[in-house]
Structure 1
Amino acid sequence: MSLSAQFAKRMSRMKASEIRELLKLLDQPGMLSFAGGIPDPALFPAEAFAEAFQDALSPGRQARSLQYSVSEGYLPLREWIADHMATLGVTCGPEQVLITSGSQQALDYLGKLFLSPNDTALVGWPTYLGAIAAFNAYEPRFDQLRIGDNQPPVSYAIAAEVAGGRVKFAYLSPDFANPTGETLTQAERLAVLDVAEALNCAVIEDAAYQALRYEGEPVAPILALEQARKGGDLEACRTIYCGTFSKTLSPGLRVGWVVAASPVIAQLVLMKQAADLHSATLNQIATHQVAAALYESHTATLRAVYGRRRDAMLRALEQHMPAGVSWVRPEGGMFVWLTLPTGQDGAALLQRALAQEQVAFVPGQAFFADGSGANTLRLSFSNSSETQIAEGVARLGRILSEPQ
Structure 2
Amino acid sequence: MDWEKVFASRAMRMKASEIRELLKLLEQPDIISFAGGIPDVALFPKEAVSKAYGEVLAGDQGDAALQYSVSEGYKPLRDWIVKEMAKIGIPCNATNVFITSGSQQVLDYLGKLFLSPNDTALVTWPTYMGALGAFNAYEPTYDKLLPMSNRPASSYVDAAEKAGGRVKFAYAVAEFHNPTGETMTKGEREWLLDLAETLDIPVVEDAAYQALRYDGETVPPILALDIARHGGDINKTRTFYCGSFSKTLAPGLRVGWVVANEEVVRKLVLIKQAADLHSSTINQMVIGKVADGVFAEQVEKIKRVYSHRRNQMLAALQKSMPAGVEWTKPEGGMFVWVTLPKGMDGAALLAKAIAEAKVAFVPGRAFHADGSGQNTLRLSFSCASDEMIETGISRLGSLIRSELAAA
Q: State TM-score, norm by structure 1.
A: 0.99
State the partner residue of 2:224. Answer: 224
State the partner residue of 1:377. Answer: 377
Distance 1:93 1:82 in 2: 6
* 1:346 equivalent in alignment to 2:362: no
1:52 aligned partner, one-letter code: A
Deviation at 1:378? Answer: 0.1
Distance 2:3 2:201 in 1: 38
Q: Secondary structure at the match of 1:184?
A: coil
Distance 1:28 1:235 in 2: 49
1:44 aligned partner, one-letter code: F
Q: Secondary structure at the match of 1:57?
A: helix
State the partner residue of 1:94. Answer: 94
1:209-249 CA-partner distances (Å, limit 9, x unpaired): 01000110110000000100100010110000000000000
State the partner residue of 2:358. Answer: 358
Distance 1:232 1:59 in 2: 39
State the partner residue of 2:285. Answer: 285
Deviation at 1:74? Answer: 0.2
Distance 1:336 1:59 in 2: 45
Distance 2:152 2:398 in 1: 45
* 1:275 equivalent in alignment to 2:275: yes
Q: Secondary structure at the match of 1:242?
A: strand
State the partner residue of 1:245. Answer: 245
Return 133-142 or 54-63, whichever deviates more: 54-63
Distance 2:164 2:348 in 1: 37
1:140-177 CA-partner distances (Å, limit 9, x unpaired): 10000021121111110111112111111000000000
Give the alignment of 1:1-400 within 5 angstroms.
Answer: 1-400=1-400
Q: What is the CA RMSD across the aligned residues, in angstroms?
A: 0.7
| Length, aligned pairs only | 404
Give the 3 Å change call, closer, same or farther, for CA 278–170 of structure 1 in structure 2: same
- 5+ residue gaps, structure 2, are none
Distance 1:149 1:308 in 2: 34
Distance 1:77 1:375 in 2: 43
Distance 1:246 1:390 in 2: 27
Q: Secondary structure at the match of 2:251?
A: coil
1:355 aligned partner, one-letter code: A
Distance 1:90 1:167 in 2: 26
Distance 2:60 2:324 in 1: 64
Deviation at 1:60? Answer: 2.9
Deviation at 1:59? Answer: 4.7
Deviation at 1:3? Answer: 2.5
Identity between Structure 1 and Structure 2 (%): 61
1:305 aligned partner, one-letter code: V
Structure 1 runs (4+) greater than 6 angstroms displaced: none
1:298 aligned partner, one-letter code: Q
Deviation at 1:366? Answer: 0.4
Distance 2:357 2:16 in 1: 25
Distance 1:391 1:3 in 2: 47
2:275 aligned partner, one-letter code: A
Distance 1:192 1:164 in 2: 24
Deviation at 1:127? Answer: 0.1
Q: State TM-score, norm by structure 2.
A: 0.98
Q: Secondary structure at the match of 2:58?
A: coil
2:190 aligned partner, one-letter code: L
Return 291-300 or 200-209, whichever deviates more: 291-300
1:29 aligned partner, one-letter code: P
